[in-house]
Structure 1
Amino acid sequence: MSGTFPEDFLWGVALAGHQNEGDNEHSDIWFLERTAPTLFQEPSGAACRGYQRWPEDLDTVAGLGLDAFRFSVEWARVEPERDEVSTEALDHYEQVVDGALERGLAPVVTFNHFAAPHWFSAAGSWLAEDAAERFAAQCDRVMARFGDRITAGVTINEPNLEQLLQAGGKLPAEAETTKREMLAAAARAAGSERYFASNVIPSDAQPEFQAAFTRAHRAAKSAIKARRGDLPVGVSIAMADEVALPGGEQHRDARRAAVYDHWLAVGREDDFIGVQNYERIFHGPDGEVVPEGPRNGMNSVIDPASLAGAVRYAHQVAGVPVLVTEHGLQTGDDAQRAAFIPAALDLLSDEIAAGTPVLGYLHWTLMDNFEWIFGYRPKLGLLAVDRETFDRTPKPSAKAYAAAVQHHRGR
Structure 2
Amino acid sequence: MTSPHHAPDAGRYPETFWWGVAGAGHQIEGHDTTSDTSFLEQVEPTVFVEPSGAACRSWELWEQDLDLVAAMGLGAYRFSVEWARVEPEQGVVDPAALDRYDALVDGCLARGLTPVVTLNHFTSPRWFGAAGGWLATDAPASFADQCARVVGRLGDRVPAFVTLNEPNLAATLLWGGLPPFVVDLQRRTLEAASAAAGVPRFRAANVVLPEEREAVEDGTALGHRAARDVVRALAPHARVGLSLAVVDDVALDEEGAALRDRKRAECYERWFDLVRDDDFVGVQNYEQIAHDRTGVVHAGEGSGPVNQMGTPLVPESLGGAVRYVHGATGVPVLVSEHGVATQDDALRAGLVEPALASLDAAVRDGVPVLGYFHWTLMDNFEWIFGYRYQLGLHEVDRVTGRRTAKPSAAVLARAVARRRADALVR
TM-score tier by shorter-chain length is: over 0.9
2:356 counterpart of 1:349: no
- Tell me the equivalent position of 2:200: 193
3-state SS of 1:314 partner: helix
Is 1:296–1:330's contact at 8 Å kept on the other side of the alignment? yes
Report the counterpart of residue 125 of structure 2 in structure 1: 117
Extract unaligned runs of 5+ from structure 2: 1-9
Q: How do 1:259-278 and structure 2 match up within 5 A? A: 259-278=267-286
One-letter code aligned to 1:24: D
State the partner residue of 1:279. Answer: 287
Q: CA separation in 1, counterparts of 2:189 and 2:313? A: 33
After TM superposition, give the deviation of residue 3 of structure 1 in Å.
2.5
- 1:134 counterpart residue number: 142
Deviation at 1:410, TM superposition (A): 2.5
Match of 1:245 in 2: 252
Provide, for residues 99-129 of structure 1, a one-character-per-residue CA deviation record: whole Å limited to 9, x for no partner: 0000000000000001100001101111111
1:390-405 maps to which residues of 2 (within 5 A)? 390-405=401-416
The alpha carbon displacement at 1:283 in A equals 0.7
Q: Structure 1: which 5+ residue stretches go unaligned?
A: none
Using the alignment, how far apart are the partners of 1:232 and 1:154 within structure 2? 9
Residue 203 of structure 1 pairs with residue 214 of structure 2: no
Q: Which amino acid aligns with 1:387?
A: R
Structure 2 residue identity aligned to 1:330: A
Distance 2:218 2:180 in 1: 25
Report the Cα offset of residue 185 of structure 1: 1.2
Q: CA deviation at 1:336?
A: 0.5
Distance in 2 (alpha carbons) for counterparts of 1:298 and 1:255 = 20
Alignment-derived partner of residue 82 in structure 2: 74
Q: Which amino acid aligns with 1:151?
A: P
Equivalent of 1:177 in 140, 163, 184: 184
Corresponding position of 1:216: 223
What is the alpha-carbon distance in structure 2 between the residues aligned to residue 236 and residue 30 of structure 1? 23
**Residue 174 of structure 1 aligns to a residue in which SS?**
helix
Could you report, residue by residue, the CA deviation over 1:3-54 in whole angstroms, capped at 9, with x for unpaired residues? 2222211000000000000000000000000001100000000000001000
Shift of 1:230: 2.1
**SS at 1:302's partner residue?**
coil
Letter in 2 for 1:361: Y
**Aligned: 1:226 with 2:237:** no
Q: 2:95 corresponds to which residue?
A: 87
What is the Cα deviation at residue 345 of structure 1? 0.4
- Contact 1:250–1:285 (CA under 8 A) maintained in structure 2: no
Superposition pairs of residues 279-298 of structure 1, within 5 angstroms: 279-291=287-299, 292-298=303-309
Q: Does residue 32 in structure 1 map to residue 40 in structure 2?
A: yes
Contact 2:378 2:391 in 1 (8 A): yes
2:28 and 2:55 in contact (8 A); partners too: yes
Choose which of 339, 342, 357 in structure 2 pairs with 1:331.
342
Runs of 4+ in 1 over 3 A off after TM superposition: none
Q: Do 1:265 and 1:317's aligned partners in 2 also have CA atoms closer than 8 Å?
A: no
Whole-Å separation in 2 of the counterparts to 1:197 and 1:17: 16
CA distance in 2, matches of 1:4, 1:350: 10
Instruction: Give the RMSD, CA atoms, in angstroms.
Output: 0.9
TM-score by length of 1: 0.98
Q: Secondary structure at the match of 1:220?
A: helix
Q: What number of residue pairs does the alignment pair up?
A: 409
Correspondence for 1:12 among 20, 25, 36: 20
